[in-house]
Amino acid sequence: MYLSKLSIKNFRSCYETELIFQPSLTLLVGENASGKSNVIQALQLATSPLSGRPSRFFEVDDVSRGREDQAIELDMEYADVTDSQKGLYLPALDLDSGVVHYGVRFAVDERGSRFSRPTYVAGPARGPDSEPEPRDKIRHVYLAPLRDAERELNSSDGRRLTQIIEYMFASHEREEFVEFANEKLKAVGAHEIPRKVMEGVQEHLTQLTEPVRAQTAELQSVEHGLRRLARSLRMKMAESGVELGDLADSGLGYANLLYIATVILELHNAKDVELTLFLVEEPEAHLHPQLQAVLLQYLQQQAEASIKDDSAAPAGRIQVICTTHSPNLASSVGIENVVVLRTRALPRLPTRTDEDVDDTGSAGAAPERAQRRQTVAIPVASLGLDPVDMGKISRYLDVTKAALLFARRVMLVEGIAEALLAQTFVRKCLYAEDQRKRRDFSAVTVISVDGIDFAPYIQLLLTPVASCSILDKLVVVTDGDPDLPEIKKVKAAKKAKKNKPSTGEDVASEAGVEDTGAGDRGQEVAADGESAEDDDDFALSVIAQNRAADLRAVAARIGASGRLKVFCSKYTFEADLLRYKENEPVLQAAYLRQRPKSKAKWTAISTADEPARAFYVQLRTNSKLISKGEFAYDIVAAIEGGKVFTCPDYFADAIAEVLDDATGTL
- Beta-carbon contacts of 267 under 8 Å, excluding residues fewer than 6 positions away, are 50, 141, 276, 278, 302, 306, 318
Contact 274, 317 (CB under 8 A): yes
Q: How confident is the model at residue 540 (pLDDT cuts 50, 70, 90)?
A: very low
End-to-end CA distance of the chain: 37
> What is the model's pLDDT at position 529?
40
Query: Which one is predicted more confidently, 568 or 399?
Result: 568
- Beta-carbon contacts of 544 under 8 Å, excluding residues fewer than 6 positions away, are 452, 479, 481, 550
Q: How confident is the model at residue 84 (pLDDT cuts 50, 70, 90)?
A: very high
Q: Has residue 513 got a pLDDT over 60?
A: no
Rounded distance between C-alpha atoms, residue 638 and residue 649, angstroms: 20
> What is the model's pLDDT at position 156?
57
Contact 543, 483 (CB under 8 A): yes
Contact 291, 250 (CB under 8 A): no
Helix (H, G, I), strand (E, B) or coil at 319: strand
Query: Lowest mean pLDDT: which of 220-234, 243-257, 446-460, 519-533?
Result: 519-533
> Measuring CA to CA, which residue among 485, 299, 281, 351 is closest to residue 68?
351
Q: What is the mean pLDDT of residues 641-664?
A: 88
Contact 563, 474 (CB under 8 A): yes
> What is the model's pLDDT at position 140?
95
Q: What is the mean pLDDT of residues 109-115?
A: 75
Q: Has residue 615 got a pLDDT over 60?
A: yes
Rounded distance between C-alpha atoms, residue 202 and residue 216, angstroms: 7
Q: Has residue 522 got a pLDDT over 70?
A: no
Q: How confident is the model at residue 496 (pLDDT cuts 50, 70, 90)?
A: confident
Q: What is the mean pLDDT of residues 398-426?
A: 88
Query: Which one is predicted more confidently, 124 or 364?
Result: 124
Query: Lowest mean pLDDT: which of 77-81, 268-272, 305-309?
Result: 268-272
Q: Has residue 236 got a pLDDT over 50?
A: yes
Query: Which one is predicted more confidently, 307 or 111?
Result: 307
Q: How confident is the model at residue 530 (pLDDT cuts 50, 70, 90)?
A: very low
Q: How confident is the model at residue 604 (pLDDT cuts 50, 70, 90)?
A: very high
Rounded distance between C-alpha atoms, residue 615 and residue 627, angstroms: 14
Tell me the C-alpha to C-alpha distance, in Å, between residue 594 and each of 234, 385, 608: 61, 42, 21
Q: What is the mean pLDDT of residues 204-213?
A: 88
The per-residue b/e assignment along 197-219, b for 16 or more CB within 10 angstroms, e otherwise, is ebeeeeeeeeeeeeeeeeeeeee
Q: How confident is the model at residue 325 (pLDDT cuts 50, 70, 90)?
A: confident
> What is the model's pLDDT at position 451?
86
Residues pairing with 20 in the sheet:
5
Strands 338-345 and 317-324: unpaired
Q: Has residue 433 got a pLDDT over 70?
A: yes
Q: Has residue 525 got a pLDDT over 70?
A: no
Domains of the chain, first to last = 2-152+247-345 (3.40.50.300), 155-231 (no CATH), 410-482+544-569+648-666 (no CATH), 485-542+574-647 (no CATH)
Q: Has residue 246 got a pLDDT over 90?
A: no
Query: Lowest mean pLDDT: which of 185-189, 276-280, 566-570?
Result: 185-189
Q: Has residue 666 got a pLDDT over 70?
A: no
pTM greater than the 0.85 cutoff: no
Rounded distance between C-alpha atoms, residue 66 and residue 47, angstroms: 26
Which stretches does DSSP call E strand in 380-473? 409-413, 444-448
Q: How confident is the model at residue 90 (pLDDT cuts 50, 70, 90)?
A: very high
Task: List pLDDT tens digits, range 331-387.
Answer: 778 888 999 999 888 766 555 444 444 444 455 544 445 557 899 999 998 888 888
Which stretches does DSSP call E strand in 132-241? 138-143
Q: What is the mean pLDDT of residues 6-30?
A: 95
Contact 563, 464 (CB under 8 A): no
> Measuring CA to CA, which residue among 458, 455, 450, 452 is closest to residue 417?
450
Average pLDDT of the chain is: 83
Q: Has residue 86 got a pLDDT over 50?
A: yes
Tell me the C-alpha to C-alpha distance, in Å, between residue 612 and each of 202, 485, 490, 625: 103, 15, 18, 15
Contact 471, 430 (CB under 8 A): no
Q: Has residue 223 got a pLDDT over 60?
A: yes
Q: What would you report as the CA-atom Rg of the chain, rounded to the nearest whole angstrom? A: 35
Rounded distance between C-alpha atoms, residue 648 and residue 637, angstroms: 18
> What is the model's pLDDT at position 114?
74
Q: Has residue 194 got a pLDDT over 90?
A: no
631 Rama class: left (phi>0) / alpha (psi -120 to 50) / beta: alpha
